[in-house]
Structure 1
Amino acid sequence: MNNSRLRHLFLLVLMLFTAHLGWAQGVTTAAMSGVISDSKGEGLPGATVIAVHTPTNTQYVAPTNSDGRFNIQNMRVGGPYTVRVTFVGYKDLTREGINLALGQNFRFDQKLSDTSTELSEVTVTQRRDATMSADRTGAATTVRREQIERLPTISRSFQDFTRLTPQANGNSISGRNGRFNNIQIDGASNNDLFGLGNSGTPGGQAGTQPISLDAIQEFQVVIAPYDVRQGRFSGGGINAVTRSGTNEFSGSAFVFGRNENTAGKSPTPDPLTGQRTKLAEFSDYQTGFRLGGPVIKDKLFFFVNGEITRRSAPLLFRVANQVNGVNEVGSGIVSFVNTDQLQQISGVLRERYGYDAGSIGEINNETRSNKAFARLDWNINQNNQLTLRHNFVDASDDNLSRSQNNFRFGNNGYRFVSKTNSTVVELKSRFGSRFANNLLLGYSTIRDQRSVNGSLFPSVTINFGANTVVAGSERSSTRNRLDQDILEITDNFNVFAGKHVLTFGTNNEIFRFDNLFVNDGGGRYDFPDLASFLAGRSNASNYRYRQNYSLPGGKPTAKFGAAQFGVYAQDEYNVTEKLRLTAGLRLDLPAYFNNPSYNPRVDSTFAKAVETGPAQGAAYDVRTDRLPKSRLQVSPRLGFNWDVRGDQSFQTRGGVGIFTGRPAYVWISNQYGGTGVDFANFDRTGALAPRLATVVPDSVSRLPARASKGSIAVTDKEFRNPQLLRTNLAVDYRLPFGLVATLEGIYSKTLNDVLPQDINLANPTSTLLGDGRPVYTAGTNPATGGPNRYRNSRDFNNVILLTNTSKGYQYSLTAELKKQFENGFFATSAYTYGQSRDLYSGTSSVAVSTWEFNPHVSGPNNLPLSYSNFDLRHRVIGSFSYRKEYAGHFATTLSAFYNGQSGTPFSYTYFGTDINNDGGNPSGSSNDLIYIPRSQNEIVLVTDGVNDRRTTAQIWNELNSFIENDKFLKENRGEYAARNGARTPWQHRIDVRLMQDIFFTVGSKTHTLQLTADVTNFGNLLNKEWGRDYFVANQNFGLLRYQGLENGTTGRPTFSYGNGTTPTATKAYQVSQLSSRWQAQFGARYLF
């Protein structure tokens, strides 16, 4: 990075640290502000506001300024608070029962009566309302402790509560990949920064949650916070704060459990018996405790929590049998391959190669998780509070999956082990009435590792048309380990100046990564069919062997450091009592340390002008040892909140700003393993590929003498972190009966997004006759026996450049109606319509896969804007909870959550041989989108092998029937299928919780025995046809198999549909055999 810039930035950070004044209520705390006035509305200078957090007796004191204004920052989340206002010559005023939400700046405007008025001290009770808040500008959802305790959940995960955000869909927020979110617990980063898991949190690949739900006090999901202290995301921000102890000892012990007897039968019947089946034997239980209380009353408090999770889950899959020589019709639980074929494969591996492939029968994946959490809160004095907490997670998860289209032998799985330690120290200080400070230090270590099942053996993939059987060691797990260290330093400075609240701060993250990853490190064979596997090899061009291995003197692991430094300034200006403006500027500076190895051949080849390709006529200027420049990324923001009537009954809010996030650092890591001098790649097809044999992983001596330098990964020197412009406009309106209605629109425009390009792929040489798509081939390459893809340099295979694009956008419109807690009841409902379009949705990790898995028509280096993998469309949610106490010893609570949405996007592609020879033919599928024929005249259909005895007319009738019964295909005849243009059907799901409390007295305190029953997919319990969950594997469906050109090397392309033996699928999507069932979990909790 530029050393001058880095020095200046460190100097600025140092200056901010030496300034001992600041605040940071937005991420870990709450705040209170307002105007104290007399009966005429004139501000009272010198009045005293005392807010007391009743459970801990923590006091926050603030005098009013010359305008009668006061500000209290860094307040504990929750409550209840009692607030007392005093002023000489006026009656004291007290308000009780105030609860503060995470990130809320509670507006507390009060009028005092003078002593001549015949009134006693005024005491009222007030409940919080985070929606009608002067500090709220952008879209945000707060999930309170009461909701966490009452709403249904089985997994006890973040996602069970972030789903309350109307613009969210799973881990995706506002139509963006969950990798672009920023998750913080107690103000410190808690992200899967490397970007390998689906949950976005540490330990996600081990099937665990990052922290016990019992340790969480409150969640907040922010999408467009114009507060510049919140950043590091281009999707959404998820903030959580943990519980703390109080002056009263309290705690609970709990157990939750479920098994095969608390789940429904399969949504579809068994093809042989015609009966719906129960789940195989499994178990899932969670047990734990929490305890909090005083160490020194009013002074020092503790909170501890522990949790153990054990789960044994079946694969929900069985091997097919044949009926009259034909495999069973796939129903989502039956494989395409039958028992005899699998036993034949297993026998060959065992007898010929001495390898045990593992079970073909029922298998349970085991998941284990142990969590421990501890927190200390010290009220040093009235103006300083210190928090110290530590979180530990130790988890492991067995990974083996099977689907209707992919069968994996038992020893093709792996075990993922993850350990996380996270420590946070936070000092909150107040200096008189004008200043406050928040200093936060965080340090985390994450250790992840894979181990394969069984003994080491090359990965073996056998193709059965569009389906595959996989045996041997899992190809990505023979050498796979990741260590991460994260240091975070945040400090904020604030000055209260009349109507202005000025904020200055810094947020800095420093990372260290140590990644060992050798894909195909044990060797990988791809056989075109069962016969070639039985023969041990094939001369066919789609028979392939590849292996990556480290070179002598190379760096076997990717060890590098990275950082993201941030500074910001902001002014919150109360223009009037009704209008507040927030204007700020945030500067983020990414940095990378420890450059990769230098490959002079890449430099010399691509530093000169090339004749064709994405940068035709210009030099690429890439180096394997050069990482992106450290360049400031500027994020100005402006937000407003207008309390139209001045009584918090009708507000308009919105703003515009730039949000800068992080990349998934695995994309940067790819460059360390893709230099061409640290690892080599042996990749041969057809007659040049070796016969199947046991190959020792990473053993160069067992490889043929000639091996290519493999694929290269480089990063654009001008690469910028993901960044977008986001704006929103909303109206909140208070209705009768405590209802609040919201109408909100959000629009995001991509400024910098991630885009992989293969700069070694030249421009196409021709177009496909009839189809018209570009083609990248010209015959056969005699050196490899494979297609001769025209490349800028024959010295390399793929050369993947990680660069940026400014194309893409997302928008959503949301209508929401909610009622806050009152008399034991709360409810919310919302409808959202959203669209998201991009060039690349960021779903892959390995350099080549980021490029080759992206469906297209015009070439993978010339992508049009299309629907994102996270395109939302229609979503309807609703939740409610009602609690009724009765008979003095009992309370019953009924809660429910409903989610309905218009399916998941997916693409229709070809499979088989690569139709345009761009190299995008992962595992026999394809990245090539289909052309949808209007009639039989627009497609050349052929049979699929000698056993397919159908006529061309019969094949067309079957294909045409499929098209006519698919809305997307039918409406787009005569066009190329759009990426993610198709969608699975609407999905509806209702989850329900019934909770029974039994109160009794022990000594002078009330204890509670709490019994719970959670039922997910409750609709399926009422009707077996309800609650179905649909999916398309990898959001990609291979509809037609490309069979080559009419005349071998010329003519139109030919395709087959089905094979005449196995019945063709009637729908592209499948029904999930697990999530489409109702499932129940029962629990017991003892509270004291």
Structure 2
Amino acid sequence: MTIATSLLFWMESWKGKELPMRVRSVLLCLACALLVALPALSQGNPTGKLSGRVTSEGESLPGVTVTVTSPNLQGSRTTTTSGNGDYLFPSLPPGEYTVTFELEGMETVTQNLRVSAAQTVPLDVTLSVAGLTESIVVTGTLEAISQGTQAATTYTKTLVDSLPVGRTINEIVSLAPGVQPNGPTKDSTTGLGSITISGAPSFENLFVINGVVMNENVRGQAFDLFIEDAVQETTTASAAISAEYGRFTGGVVNVITKSGGNDFSGSARASLTNQDWEEETPLTVSQTNETVPTYEATLGGPVLRDRLWFFVAGRDLERSETRNTASQTNIPYENVREQRRYEGKLTATLTPRHTLLGSYSEIDDAEAGNAFTPILDRDSLVTRETPQELWSVNYTGTFGDNLLLTAQYSEREFTFIGSGAKSTDRIDGTLLIARALGNGRYHSPTFCGVCTPEQRDNENLVVKGSYFLS
């Protein structure tokens, strides 16, 4: 077995709430002392690990050339088995791989498999003495379930598109074992509650996209910092997860977006909805008969083959629908939302051992008829904007056959603009709550819409070194 020793230096600060230098120094020293002997799996852009042993007639076989290729890998990667017959590829982008084992005088073996984000794939191979023209090709299945001790399930975009389910992150995560969408808040679009994993509170999960935490800072649920057609795969880990991640007691969700490739490819989609197509409930007062399209488009390809890839995506939504106040009053009101999402990504291979990845996401979101429910009247409605931006830069490098270095810096900005009362007047701007009517809110919106816009920003710096003992 290959033994991995990992040392993680992790620093995080909320803007406007910087830790004192002395406290930061103490925490850094504690991290150095405690985070040893952890697998090199998590923080930073999630990659997979492929390892195993090559034998012949029950004995270790050194000197075997092991080569991996994939549509998601720039170029190919090659290593040689050690004196114990062990080999290791510590940082592979998620995707489908072809693994070839070659040694003069021995049969060539080819194995097809899938490597998922933040997962370790074991692959042991036995080589036999070659005949005159013999070779062996083994076709493996694409495992969606983790093959290690960690309980994890991966859903690729191809699989999700073939299922009669929604394509949002919460809807995909809800398919995994150990996940229940029954938290205290409810998504008005999907109808699902907050995600709970392994029985932990809904705010105790970690959602990561391309290695960047996308949890909402207060309630811990995932921001919509994605475009459905741009998602390559989603991996949900619910048990036996490395403590290296931190900031969770439930589960960890890793979302990987597409990166382009050596061939140009793209997609275009229009999804149509109409509230009038929905079944009425006993509380339905009216429905908006308007067909609402959601447009999505993606495009990716090479700038330089096997050296520099690009990927861009966009999503456009203009929706109008009728909603109702709480059942005690059941007053209909219009909710109108205009949202545009943009995403860009560059992947560069400086050398076969050193890669750079940069990504940027932006959401422009304006909504009229928003409410902090439950409400009893239309005076509780607001017109607000909630813009978001996220960018990150990631470096991954291997030095020799044993040392892996990863570094990532990211910033995320999220702002509430006009999300509350339009006045600070003691009468017009005062919220009233009817305790006898299910804590229904009325007379004024819940928060202040004319105060300084509320910012929920954060930034992360991750530096990780992993040394593998052979």
TM range (shorter): 0.7 to 0.9
Q: Which residue of 2 aligns with 1:297?
A: 305
2:110 to 94, 99, 106: 94
CA-CA distance at 1:424 after TM superposition: 1.4
1:30 aligns with 2:48: yes
CA distance in 2, matches of 1:177, 1:235: 7
Q: Which residue of 2 aligns with 1:814?
A: none
SS of residue paired to 2:276 = helix
CA-CA distance at 1:4 after TM superposition: 5.2
CA distance in 2, matches of 1:193, 1:121: 55
Q: Which residue of 2 aligns with 1:447?
A: 415
| Paired residues for 1:784-863 under 5 Å | none
CA distance in 1, matches of 2:440, 2:49: 59
CA distance in 1, matches of 2:327, 2:28: 58
1:31/1:465 Cα in 2 relative to 1: closer, same or farther (>3 Å)?
A: closer
1:303/1:236 Cα in 2 relative to 1: closer, same or farther (>3 Å)?
A: same
Q: Which residue of 2 aligns with 1:183?
A: 207
1:106/1:402 Cα in 2 relative to 1: closer, same or farther (>3 Å)?
A: closer
CA distance in 2, matches of 1:427, 1:3: 26
CA-CA distance at 1:453 after TM superposition: 6.7
Indicate if the aligned counterparts of 1:418 and 1:446 stay in contact, CA closer than 8 A. yes
1:107 aligns with 2:122: yes
1:83 aligns with 2:99: yes
1:335 aligns with 2:333: no
| Paired residues for 1:550-561 under 5 Å | none
1:469/1:222 Cα in 2 relative to 1: closer, same or farther (>3 Å)?
A: closer
Residue type of the partner of 2:60?
G
CA distance in 1, matches of 2:238, 2:205: 10
Residue type of the partner of 1:67?
N
CA distance in 2, matches of 1:213, 1:132: 24
How big is each residue's C-alpha offset from its partner over 1:758-785, in whole Å with a ceiling of 9 and x where there is no partner?
xxxxxxxxxxxxxxxxxxxxxxxxxxxx
Indicate if the aligned counterparts of 2:431 and 2:445 stay in contact, CA closer than 8 A. no
CA-CA distance at 1:222 after TM superposition: 1.8
Larger Rg, first or second structure (1 or 2):
1
How big is each residue's C-alpha offset from its partner over 1:678-708, in whole Å with a ceiling of 9 and x where there is no partner?
xxxxxxxxxxxxxxxxxxxxxxxxxxxxxxx
CA distance in 2, matches of 1:52, 1:469: 59
CA distance in 2, matches of 1:185, 1:89: 45
| Paired residues for 1:881-892 under 5 Å | none
CA distance in 2, matches of 1:391, 1:2: 31
SS of residue paired to 1:147 = helix
Residue type of the partner of 2:135?
E
Indicate if the aligned counterparts of 1:282 and 1:314 stay in contact, CA closer than 8 A. no
CA distance in 2, matches of 1:399, 1:493: 46
1:411 aligns with 2:383: no
Residue type of the partner of 2:200?
R
How many pairs does the alignment contain? Answer: 429
CA-CA distance at 1:460 after TM superposition: 6.2
CA distance in 1, matches of 2:252, 2:352: 31
Residue type of the partner of 1:147?
L
1:36/1:282 Cα in 2 relative to 1: closer, same or farther (>3 Å)?
A: same
CA-CA distance at 1:481 after TM superposition: 3.0
Residue type of the partner of 1:163?
S
CA-CA distance at 1:400 after TM superposition: 3.4
CA-CA distance at 1:482 after TM superposition: 1.6
1:243 to 258, 261, 286: 258
Indicate if the aligned counterparts of 2:107 and 2:134 stay in contact, CA closer than 8 A. yes
CA-CA distance at 1:235 after TM superposition: 2.4
Q: Percent identity?
A: 22
CA distance in 2, matches of 1:78, 1:175: 30
| Paired residues for 1:539-938 under 5 Å | none
Q: Which residue of 2 aligns with 1:613?
A: none
Residue type of the partner of 1:237?
V
1:43 to 50, 60, 65: 60
CA-CA distance at 1:436 after TM superposition: 2.1
1:401/1:365 Cα in 2 relative to 1: closer, same or farther (>3 Å)?
A: farther
1:287 aligns with 2:300: no
Indicate if the aligned counterparts of 2:373 and 2:441 stay in contact, CA closer than 8 A. no
2:468 to 496, 500, 516: 496
CA-CA distance at 1:401 after TM superposition: 7.0
1:59/1:314 Cα in 2 relative to 1: closer, same or farther (>3 Å)?
A: same
CA distance in 1, matches of 2:373, 2:242: 46
2:217 to 179, 182, 193: 193
1:107/1:466 Cα in 2 relative to 1: closer, same or farther (>3 Å)?
A: closer
SS of residue paired to 2:340 = strand
CA-CA distance at 1:216 after TM superposition: 1.3
CA distance in 1, matches of 2:158, 2:433: 53
Indicate if the aligned counterparts of 2:108 and 2:136 stay in contact, CA closer than 8 A. yes
How big is each residue's C-alpha offset from its partner over 1:231-282, in whole Å with a ceiling of 9 and x where there is no partner?
211222211111111111000111111113321232x3x7xxxxx8763435
Residue type of the partner of 1:221?
T
Indicate if the aligned counterparts of 1:99 and 1:128 stay in contact, CA closer than 8 A. yes
1:497/1:476 Cα in 2 relative to 1: closer, same or farther (>3 Å)?
A: same
Residue type of the partner of 1:364?
E
Indicate if the aligned counterparts of 1:25 and 1:74 stay in contact, CA closer than 8 A. no
How big is each residue's C-alpha offset from its partner over 1:543-599, in whole Å with a ceiling of 9 and x where there is no partner?
xxxxxxxxxxxxxxxxxxxxxxxxxxxxxxxxxxxxxxxxxxxxxxxxxxxxxxxxx
CA distance in 2, matches of 1:425, 1:14: 23
Residue type of the partner of 2:272?
G
SS of residue paired to 2:59 = coil
Residue type of the partner of 1:176?
A
Gapped regions of structure 2 (runs ≥ 5) = 1-18, 182-194
CA distance in 1, matches of 2:277, 2:65: 58
Residue type of the partner of 2:329?
S
Question: What RMSD, in angstroms, separates the aligned Cα atoms of the two structures?
Answer: 3.1
Q: Which residue of 2 aligns with 1:311?
A: 319
1:53 to 51, 70, 95: 70
Gapped regions of structure 1 (runs ≥ 5) = 17-21, 203-208, 271-275, 318-331, 337-360, 499-1088
2:238 to 223, 243, 260: 223
Residue type of the partner of 1:407?
L
1:188/1:48 Cα in 2 relative to 1: closer, same or farther (>3 Å)?
A: same
SS of residue paired to 1:114 = coil
How big is each residue's C-alpha offset from its partner over 1:994-1041, in whole Å with a ceiling of 9 and x where there is no partner?
xxxxxxxxxxxxxxxxxxxxxxxxxxxxxxxxxxxxxxxxxxxxxxxx
Indicate if the aligned counterparts of 1:191 and 1:201 stay in contact, CA closer than 8 A. yes
2:445 to 474, 497, 514: 474
How big is each residue's C-alpha offset from its partner over 1:1037-1056, in whole Å with a ceiling of 9 and x where there is no partner?
xxxxxxxxxxxxxxxxxxxx
Q: Which residue of 2 aligns with 1:382?
A: 352
CA distance in 1, matches of 2:441, 2:245: 45
1:157 to 168, 180, 183: 168
1:412/1:298 Cα in 2 relative to 1: closer, same or farther (>3 Å)?
A: same
CA distance in 2, matches of 1:142, 1:185: 14
How big is each residue's C-alpha offset from its partner over 1:293-342, in whole Å with a ceiling of 9 and x where there is no partner?
0001121100000111222221146xxxxxxxxxxxxxx86738xxxxxx
Q: Which residue of 1 aligns with 2:184?
A: none
CA-CA distance at 1:467 after TM superposition: 6.5
How big is each residue's C-alpha offset from its partner over 1:622-676, in whole Å with a ceiling of 9 and x where there is no partner?
xxxxxxxxxxxxxxxxxxxxxxxxxxxxxxxxxxxxxxxxxxxxxxxxxxxxxxx
CA distance in 1, matches of 2:431, 2:54: 75
Q: Which residue of 1 aligns with 2:333?
A: 363
1:480/1:412 Cα in 2 relative to 1: closer, same or farther (>3 Å)?
A: farther
Indicate if the aligned counterparts of 1:100 and 1:106 stay in contact, CA closer than 8 A. yes
Q: Which residue of 2 aligns with 1:433?
A: 401
1:68/1:263 Cα in 2 relative to 1: closer, same or farther (>3 Å)?
A: same
CA-CA distance at 1:363 after TM superposition: 1.4
Q: Which residue of 1 aligns with 2:10?
A: none
Q: Which residue of 1 aligns with 2:8?
A: none
SS of residue paired to 2:332 = coil
CA distance in 2, matches of 1:463, 1:484: 30
How big is each residue's C-alpha offset from its partner over 1:889-937, in whole Å with a ceiling of 9 and x where there is no partner?
xxxxxxxxxxxxxxxxxxxxxxxxxxxxxxxxxxxxxxxxxxxxxxxxx
Q: Larger relative CO (CA 8 A, sep 6+): 1 or 2?
A: 2
1:146 to 136, 155, 158: 158
